Chains A and B, each alone.
Chain A
Amino acid sequence: MASLVLKNLTKKFGNFTAVDNINLEVNNGEMVALLGGSGCGKTTTLRMIAGFTDQYEGSIQVDGREMNHIPAYKRNMGVFFQNYALFPHMNTFDNIAFGLKMQKLPKGIIKEKVQNILELVKMTGMEKRHPRELSGGQQQRVALARALVTEPTVLLLDEPLSNLDAKLRVEMQLEIKRIQRELGITTIIVTHDQEEAVSLADRVVVMNAGEILQVGKPREVFDRPANMFVADFMGFSNFISGKVKNADGSMVRVICSEKELIINEMNSAGFTPGDSITMSIRPENIVLADKNSENALTGTVKSVTYKGTITRVEINDIFAETVFVNIHDYEGYEVGDEITVAFPSQKLIIYKNLLN
């Protein structure tokens, strides 16, 4: 159990800056997700914390102790690898006991600890199996047990759920959360899946091109992305440009393609009439409505895609941009039909355009 501090952390590979001046504090027992697309620097950051990557700038501190010149094998961090990295020549017991043997603990204690951790990950009775005799989910549990059994100060999870099928993923998500809570271990989880990040972590760090774009509680990041990049990454697929008409109290009135909309915005003082803006909303937050509802606008259906639990509808002729809408109980509308949808003022977010 420990706190983790990253200060001005920078890693360059030749001319390429993989991680660019990152600052982050992780509290004792907290679970933080590093979220970003491939090449955003999240895995490099994790590898630096683990000590696999040397020659970086800045500092990594665990409980105030500088880690920079401490090799990986003396850092006491539990690492869960994306491909599990189980030792293929050892059975489950030996894989989990490896770290304990390195600590030169007595055999009896090793046995007891392995038994306890196997119980925690629900793998009791599998001691003699080799990794190749285990299913993906089982291998993952063993990898998690192996990373946890040495009681590391920090647990690092690299894309822990990416190799699992959808059903197992949900199950393991709950499992990882349960185990992390039970042990109260400080955890960093690296993922490219926004849903995984917001459901697992206490705080989410959104990264792009080696930089941190936003740090916040899952709800904040999910509902109030700090900028358009984060919004796009968090699933706001509608970006509609317009101008501010007026800003008043917690409301901003905007004109987009000659249509007037009201947006609920706490920082309305930041906007002045005439500002060029982009407003954004999730496809699932746009609703079918009648013409007198707030922010209700009418357009024509361009295409309809049935996706099982939702139906994705593309609507033209409201704004210059096509509007994407996800509707749960979709019926009736065909391509070319007129359709009226509302953009709830609470769900709309706006960003000032930087270029003008």
Chain B
Amino acid sequence: MSDNRIGWLSKIITIFVFMFLLAPLVVIILASFSPTPLVVFPPKGFSLKWYGNIFTSSTNFSSGFINSIEVAVIATAIDVLLGVTAALSVSRYQFKGRELLISFFTSPMYVPSIAFAFVLLQVFSQIGSFPGMLKILLGHMIIIMPYIVRNTLSVLSGFDWTLEDAAASLGASPVKTFSKVTLPLIKPGVVAGAMLSFLYSFDEAVLSSLLSSPKFVTLPIRIMNYMEFSFDPTLAAISTVLILMSLLLIILLEKFIGLDMFLSN
């Protein structure tokens, strides 16, 4: 086969992969503008009423959205502190049980979240009155931890620790060494882990469905509740808004941190 034909083949495959990935998004976005409650193809016109419905619906999407953001931001922030510290200590020092500790930090990934949620629910109900927000926050903190630990560990695996010695020999205290040398170098892994964790927590539904209380409901649970009664394009409208927000987040990250850092190193 000539190089030219391989070139064409790979181009066609690339196009198919992109279509496969993007088609659902396109359908959702198109559906959100449908004037009819039942989504039909091709759409019979154009309407923004479902976007309005997000705010006027009896299901309080906005409060769910705020709750989800709150949980995702706090859980990610705390876990970045804990996870990065954990990853640093297991990669810097050689000690007995090091591998075991790494497996322990990443173990929530391998436990089915429904089983984990069930256990957590039992524990919380034994303790008694526990604010709903705290229940979901604790649950999320545990299940997103592996993403931060793993991503940080992967950038640390090739880390040249003599750089820290070099910084020390030049008069940098341990704190300065961390902030000026270590942290800037492991930032790609930390940011990638934080992003994954944030997104995981933001649309986590299994754990939240068992742990949420009437007073504290996250967005995915609101969406699930809404779906039980109606199947109109309001959900497509919400999805479109979320897709836009993710896009915005990526653009902001690109602008302030630079996503090319994921490619370098």
Contact = CB atoms under 8 A, between A and B. Distances in A.
Contacts, number: 62
Interface in A69-96: 71-79, 81, 83, 85-89
Contacts of B166: 79, 81, 85-87, 146
Contacts of A72: 165, 168-169
Nearest to B177: A73
A51 interface: yes
Interface residues of A, number: 26
B109 interface: no
B165 A52 contact: yes
A102 interface: yes
A152 to B, nearest CB: 8
B160 A85 contact: yes
B92 interface: no
Interface residues of B, number: 19
Contacts of A150: 170-171
Interface stretch (B5-13, B58-66, B178-186, B203-211): B178-186
A79 B184 CA distance: 22
A319 interface: no
A67 B160 CA distance: 26
B167 interface: yes
A218 B168 CA distance: 33
A77 to B, nearest CB: 6
A88 B165 contact: no
Interface of B: 160, 162-163, 165-174, 176-177, 180-181, 184-185
9 contacts: A52-B169, A71-B168, A73-B167, A73-B170, A73-B172, A73-B174, A78-B169, A86-B166, A99-B171
Interface of A: 50-52, 71-79, 81, 83, 85-89, 98-99, 102-103, 146-147, 150
Given A74-B171, A86-B166, 6 more contacts: A50-B169, A87-B167, A87-B181, A88-B185, A98-B172, A146-B170
